[in-house]
Amino acid sequence: MGKEIERKFLVKGDAWRGLAKPVKYRQGYLSTVKERTVRVRTVDAAGYLTIKGVTTGVTRVEYEYEIPAAQADEMLTGLCEKPLIEKTRRTIELGGLTWEVDEFFGDNQGLIVAEVELKSADQEIVKPDWVGPEVSGDPRYFNSNLIKLPFTKW
C-alpha cells in the first residue's frame, strides 16, 4: 500500500520563483467523495491516474499509475468534474526536503501553496523564509475541494 505524508503551507513573497523551473499541470477529478478521490492529471507530456484515501492528520493512502497522455486528456475533457485545476509546479530541494510549490490559475488564480512530503508525520522541518502559515488541516486547500469552491470565490 502506498502512503502519502505531507504538510501544506501558504507561500509568501516571490523568492521561491527563481529556485526551479515551472512545470505545467492540468488535473481533474472522477471522484471527490471524502472516502476516496480519483484524480486524472497531465504533467507536460505524461498522464497519471491517482487514487487517494481519507486523510488522517497529514497521512493518507495513495496509489498512482502512469497512463497514456492522450487518454488522460480525453478523461480531463469528457469525464472529470469542472472546473479543472490548472497550475504550475516548481520542485525545490532544500535542507534534505523536497518542496512542491503550486501556483494556481483559472478559477483558482492567486492561490500559491507549498507542500512537503515527509517520511513520518512527526518529522521535523525547517521552513524556508518564503513558506508562510500551515494549512494542512484546512480542507478548502485540498485540490479536490478547489473544484467545488474555487479560491476566487472565497
Catalytic residue among 25, 29, 63, 65: 29
Task: Write out pLDDT tens, residues 20-40.
Answer: 999 999 999 999 998 999 999
Is 25 designated active site?
Answer: no
Q: At 134, which CATH number? A: 2.40.320.10
User: Which residues fall within 8 angstroms of residue 14, CB to CB, at 6 or more apart?
Assistant: 130
Residue bearing cell 529556485: 19
Strands, DSSP E only, in the chain? Answer: 3-11, 23-33, 36-43, 46-52, 59-67, 85-94, 97-104, 112-117, 131-134
What percentage of residues in the chain have a pLDDT greater than 90?
A: 90
Which domain covers residue 132, as residue numbers? 3-153
In this prediction the pTM is 0.91
**What's the total number of domains in the chain?**
1
Task: Write out pLDDT tens, residues 77-130.
Answer: 999 999 999 999 999 999 999 999 999 999 999 999 999 999 998 999 999 999
Q: Is the pLDDT of residue 56 over 90?
A: no
